[in-house]
Structure 1
């Protein structure tokens, strides 16, 4: 009995030590600055969300969260860097919707799996897509835009943040639904695309509202329709695509936090708490709403299921559209 009791005590003590070790690990992280990679250049909506979260996490967790912009190859460079980084929580990815579009277009090029190479932390924000035009296409209604595009098939150009980006898919889907033809001009980020749109180098863009809201409000760009189930409270006079006759056309963009697969569960738990606090904070909601975004907080398995579902759906869409990268 004594020997049995001693074994039980030893097992209990070992379990307690293991639990304490995990707790110490969680409390110890982060013990140094955390690198947050963004696959787009500075100034775009993904970068804006990344910097807002980094500021919150730095204050909440007591270590700097440093945003590292690594644009190129439709965010493949940034995603690849995070997928191959040590799974210790010190290298993270602030991804966006185009992350789940990568397999549909770059399966032969990428060295990672968009789902299995990452641990889903949480989604942080969402933004609808809006059709905007610049000075090279001075129309004021969607009807006039559609008439101009159909009058010159293949002559008008639209800008996107990159080949295979959410804007690319949204634009190609639109041309399929409306039977139109336009030239695709890919950029390395939303900020550059918006700059050239305002400068008249391209005619239009199916952009996330967060990337063009300021320019629309200042009158530098004209919003013609919103790809969402209902009108945006920030653009109450801009109709939805459903209202102007393009039925079933919606295109939301999400922004979320991903870590390398096999990142310790206790580190992921700390990150998810920080992400949830960020999304629920009134200051965050107010800031993102002013930028054309809403907070979103889907974490862990729920976020992972969303990624898996989108990879499948975008693969099917790419095949139906015969969508290829340049």
Structure 2
């Protein structure tokens, strides 16, 4: 026999779960609105002390002061930043795990597509770039070329004989150099190293001729007159090297190789959390103390956010993938 009180209980339970469900929705929103309510983990794919780490730590200090909760740096170097990106891509999308990435984030698909369990663009929400380091073509004492025109003349006169050093095969310096030789129709000999420090030493010692280096890694040597900067691969001259022309000004049209540093969150992070983080990242980039700190690293502050940053990531992935395929660049 069907008991009337039974159906009443069922109805009451259904109403209760519906009410609880309805209450939970604003609760999730309230949680996002109270963000952050606990420490935030900021993952960096490089060891402590490198440029990406220094930018990440400066941001973490600023964000902790602005938002009132600790932003804790977690260095996860290895596999060309894949380990760090993987950790963030697979983290809960709640804004409590962030990635501070750099340009090589968009090189991952070009070099490791078969090995990677995430998508450099779709697995993340692009928050904002916070800094940019221009790439600069520097020559050591073995190249007596004071200008880019003189450098090109000498390289063209001796195809395949002149050398360019990079911090490794598949590094941003490698891609920047290959883009340049293709654009200028030149041939040079690639000497890959295991990092930027050794490149600078051998460049000053005359063992290698040239390098497409991030400005921060060679600024002290340029200022000391030990290396000569021929051109900057940015749309405008760098305020740190106002006397050095851009490639565009020096006659190589359409050549750009900026290194960006920026923040990404796991795909699906709530819009309110994304908005809070973007506002914080923009304020960080605009702060005079940030600009002062970046200057010392050979960087300038930059704030490209949201879909504009997303479009940039997409463009870079396509161009690096195409370049790697055409030149048969594979990661070591």
TM range (shorter): 0.7 to 0.9
Match of 2:165 in 1: 159
Gaps of 5+ in 1: 1-10
SS in 1 for 2:54: helix
2:25 is the alignment partner of 1:58: no
Report the Cα distance in structure 1 between the residues aligned to 2:28 and 2:160, rounded to whole angstroms. 63
How many residues in Structure 1 have an aligned counterpart in Structure 2? 318
The whole-number CA distance in structure 1 between the counterparts of 2:223 and 2:321 is 35
Q: Contact between 1:44 and 1:191, CA under 8 Å: does it hold in 2?
A: no
Among 262, 267, 274, the residue aligned to 1:261: 267
How does the TM-score come out when normalised to structure 1?
0.82
CA deviation digits over 1:93-119, x for unaligned, max 9? Answer: 111122112212221122211011112
- Structure 2: runs of 5 or more not aligned: 1-17
Distance 1:194 1:76 in 2: 26
Structure with the greater alpha carbon radius of gyration: 2
2:147 to 121, 141, 163: 141
8 Å Cα contact 1:40-1:69 kept in structure 2: yes
Match of 1:120 in 2: 126
Partners of 1:157 and 1:184 within 8 A in 2: yes
The corresponding residue for 2:112 is 106
Aligned 8 A contact 2:35 2:273 in 1: no
State whether residues 49 and 255 of structure 1, in contact with CA within 8 Å, keep that contact through their aligned partners in structure 2: yes
Query: What TM-score, normalized to structure 2?
Result: 0.81
RMSD of aligned alpha carbons? 3.2
Alpha-carbon spacing, 1:80–1:301, altered in 2? closer, same or farther (3 Å): same
What is aligned with 1:22? 29
Q: Deviations over 1:150-194 (max 9, x none)?
A: 455444433334433322211001111233333334455545544
Farther off after superposition, 100-109 or 156-165: 156-165
Deviation at residue 25 of structure 1 after TM alignment: 4.2
Contact 1:43–1:191 at 8 Å: present in 2 too?
Answer: no
How has the CA–CA distance of structure 1 residues 302 and 243 changed in structure 2, closer, same or farther, with 3 Å as cutoff?
closer
